[in-house]
Amino acid sequence: MRKMYFPKITAPIPFEGKDSKNPLAFKYYDKNARVGRKTMAAHLRFAVAYWHTMMADGADMFGGASYDRPWNAAGDPIDRAKHTMDAAFEFFQKLGVDYYCFHDRDIAPAGETFAQSCKNLQIMVDHAKVLQKQTGVKLLWGTANLFGHRIYTSGASTNPDAHVFALAAAQVKNALDATQALGGENYVFWGGREGYESLLNTDLKHEQEQMARFFHMAVEYAKKIGFKGQFLIEPKPCEPTKHQYDFDTATALAFLRQYDLIDYFKINVEANHATLAKHTFEHELTVASAAGKLGSVDANRGDLLLGWDTDQFPTDLYNTTMAMMIILKQNGLGSGGLNFDAHVRRSSIDPMDLFHAHIGGMDAFARGLLIAHRLIQDKALSAFIDKRYESYRSGIGAKIMAGKVGFVELEKYILEQGMPTMKSGRLEMLENILNDYIR
Ligand code: XUL
Ligand code: CO
């Protein structure tokens, strides 16, 4: 019989409703309950992030590993990877999530040579195939770790050395093969070291052209192997690199348009990356959605008092409500989902904390979904916004929107009509309405 890694959980986490006091039960996430036309599971499409949940050890800049992780015992690296994956699928099943996400180097250890790394990945893809079949858990997205190995210190596709560019290409080729073999529904590019530290040693234009060339190669290769998943760019302004090229959603969209890549990519918005870019989570979601490019979400949060990517589990109902309003308004995330790119704190050493963390995140989003659904149904906020812009639906506003007037006609209009009258933005009233729905 296979070893159990979470023996204290003997059945999948149940839904017990909002009056339950059981910390190991969902209070809001009722997988098969319908909200509008879809089940909660279909709206939310939760995924577990393999790197944080299975691989993180609690280390920080000032100290080594702190977590107890029974699957991470010493021994042969492939055996350890298999134990880790067995533990992962036990966790997915017991938690009741349908998806997971990984980097190539999370699921399979790097070898002494590139060829060995590829072999290791193949072994672990075969292992994952069996576990996916046994459990029904699916791959939301795969990606390649192009930032951990020291060779990528000065970037992967943006590296000044073409030899490193080639290595990154070879690695992504294999990661794409792995994602396809496992039926991955998306493939993510997060360019942690695709940026620069100083212009004293950097040709910025050259690096951006390299990056675009790299993405075109990925598109070509996906076509060649018949990969139908969605390509996603995950913006972040900095960390580890000082100036990251995919700073935020607007920057990434402009890059994609400039280099004729816009048709092949959507955006994976991460909450903590948004706040690092001095945006709100909902700003980034809205910018992506307005462009028809919101593809998926890395669901987490930062810490107001800490200026870095703390990747905490999402618990803030304002954030999850706003996020779900944007997602509902665009009719869902398509092949994307809500991936908990989040880790427990250094002091949360017990594997059981992984359940508490994910239950909290899932309930926070389920609650956000329910609140957002009611807000939308009641037009509680949208009626105000609709009215705020009503002047564009008739008279001079309709003419502006139809392109029928220019500066000359508008000057004439003002000379005839005089000064506009001001209207209140009513933000305090709207905040109160939001609070009425959140309570
Ligand atoms: C890093 C980050 C990554 C990406 C995948 O900040 O978010 O884990 O999600 O490479
Ligand atoms: Co992320």
> Is residue 142 helix, strand or coil?
strand
Single out the catalytic residue among 83, 103, 273, 343. 103
What residues does each domain of the chain span?
34-378, 390-438
Q: How confident is the model at residue 1 (pLDDT cuts 50, 70, 90)?
A: low
- Determine which residue's CA is closest to atom 7 belonging to ligand 1: 341
For residue 153, the CA-to-ligand 1 centroid distance in Å is: 16
Looking at ligand 1, which atom is closest to the CA of residue 273? 6
**Per-residue model confidence as pLDDT tens digits over 319-376:** 999 999 999 999 999 999 999 999 999 999 999 999 999 999 999 999 999 999 999 9
**Per-residue model confidence as pLDDT tens digits over 38-88:** 999 999 999 999 999 999 999 999 999 999 999 998 899 999 999 999 999
Separation of alpha carbons 266 and 49, rounded Å: 19
**Per-residue model confidence as pLDDT tens digits over 100-128:** 999 999 999 999 999 999 999 999 999 99
Specify whether 283 is catalytic.
Answer: no
Q: What does the pLDDT read at residue 73?
A: 86
CATH code, residues 34-378: 3.20.20.150
Burial group, residue 285, by CB count within 10 angstroms (0-12, 13-18, 19+): buried
**Per-residue model confidence as pLDDT tens digits over 144-182:** 999 999 999 999 999 999 999 999 999 999 999 999 999
Specify whether 127 is catalytic.
Answer: no
Looking at ligand 1, which atom is closest to the CA of residue 103? 10
Looking at all shown ligands, the one closest to residue 188's CA atom is 1
For helices 249-258 and 204-225, angle between their N-to-C axes, nearest 10 degrees: 80
Average per-residue pLDDT for the chain: 97
- Determine which residue's CA is closest to atom 2 belonging to ligand 1: 190
For residue 224, the CA-to-ligand 2 centroid distance in Å is: 27
Q: Among 275, 328, 285, which residue's Cα sits nearest to residue 306? A: 275
Q: What is the mean pLDDT of residues 294-320?
A: 96
Ligand 1 pocket check for 309: Cβ under 6 Å? yes
Single out the catalytic residue among 30, 106, 177, 311. 106
Ligand 1 pocket check for 143: Cβ under 6 Å? yes
Q: What does the pLDDT read at residue 340?
A: 98
Looking at ligand 1, which atom is closest to the CA of residue 298? 9
395 φ, ψ to 5°?
55, -140
Residue from 248, 298, 310 whose mutation best tests the ligand 1 pocket (most atoms within 8 A of CB): 298
Ligand 1 pocket check for 106: Cβ under 6 Å? no
Ligand 1 pocket check for 270: Cβ under 6 Å? yes
For residue 337, the CA-to-ligand 2 centroid distance in Å is: 12
For residue 320, the CA-to-ligand 1 centroid distance in Å is: 20
For residue 34, the CA-to-ligand 1 centroid distance in Å is: 31
Q: Residues 184, 113: contact at Cβ < 8 Å?
A: no
Separation of alpha carbons 278 and 111, rounded Å: 39
Between the alpha carbon of residue 370 and those of residues 22, 38, 373, the distances in Å are: 21, 12, 5
Q: What does the pLDDT read at residue 175?
A: 99
For residue 52, the CA-to-ligand 1 centroid distance in Å is: 10
Separation of alpha carbons 276 and 412, rounded Å: 46
Q: What is the mean pLDDT of residues 311-325?
A: 98
Q: What does the pLDDT read at residue 209?
A: 98
Separation of alpha carbons 253 and 293, rounded Å: 9
